[in-house]
């Protein structure tokens, strides 16, 4: 399973034998059932996870409802970012929406790997740039687009996730009502 992680990293940098050995040493395999939690509020999330297969979401709860922050699927990373980077408890949940296989790396091990392998630090910077650009595009879509445009943007950027996510969770994520999302999905595009 570590091969999926190595292959992913090789999209950004060349992975030496020594780096591959280190990644194998510091990685832990996780299998999580649908509906189970990887992280819960008031705990420190000290691990980042590469998703080999499956679908997960990050969310928090208000008194009235659950607010979805993000979805991640195979070939992507997931963690409770604030807790992971600040090393403090937060209010987020990470829940598996499908049976999932993950590769986890602890923050202390990742930081040491960055320190010992300049190419790995370069990978981290490049990956953060990719995620930052995606986040910037999402913010623009969520703030300035109509409900239909928000959904179309999500479809465009998340083809492998859109129809795997329960309707209510997707509506929460893009900031529209479930009824509005149902209407948008029901529209037929003329050809």
Q: Distance between CA 74 and CA 24 in Å, rounded?
A: 19
Percent of the chain with pLDDT over 70: 98
**Has residue 188 got a pLDDT over 60?**
no
What is the pLDDT, as a whole number, of residue 191?
A: 44
pTM of the entire predicted model? 0.89
Mean pLDDT of 50-72: 93
What is the pLDDT, as a whole number, of residue 89?
A: 95
Q: Which CATH superfamily is domain 2-186 in?
A: Jelly Rolls (2.60.120.10)
Q: Tens digit of pLDDT for each residue in 96-126?
A: 999 999 999 999 999 999 999 999 999 999 9
What is the pLDDT, as a whole number, of residue 20?
A: 96
The mean of the pLDDT values for the chain is 92
């Amino acid at each position: 399973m570590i091969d999926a992680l190595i292959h992913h990293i090789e999209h950004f940098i060349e992975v030496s034998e020594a780096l591959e050995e280190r990644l194998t040493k510091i990685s832990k395999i996780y299998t999580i059932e649908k509906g189970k939690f990887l992280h819960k509020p008031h705990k420190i999330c000290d691990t980042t996870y590469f998703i080999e297969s499956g679908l997960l979401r990050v969310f928090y709860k208000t008194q009235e409802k659950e607010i979805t922050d993000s979805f991640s699927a195979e070939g992507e990373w997931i963690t409770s970012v604030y807790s992971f980077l600040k090393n403090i408890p937060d209010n987020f949940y990470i829940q598996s929406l499908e049976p999932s296989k993950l590769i986890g790396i602890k923050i202390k091990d990742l930081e040491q790997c960055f320190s010992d392998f300049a190419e790995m630090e370069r990978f981290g910077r490049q990956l953060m740039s990719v995620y930052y650009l995606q986040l910037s595009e999402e913010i623009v879509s969520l703030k300035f687009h109509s409900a239909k445009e928000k959904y179309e943007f999500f479809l465009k950027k998340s083809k492998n996730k859109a129809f795997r996510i329960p309707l209510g969770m997707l509506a929460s994520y893009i900031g529209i009502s479930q009824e509005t999302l149902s209407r948008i999905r029901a529209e037929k595009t003329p050809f």
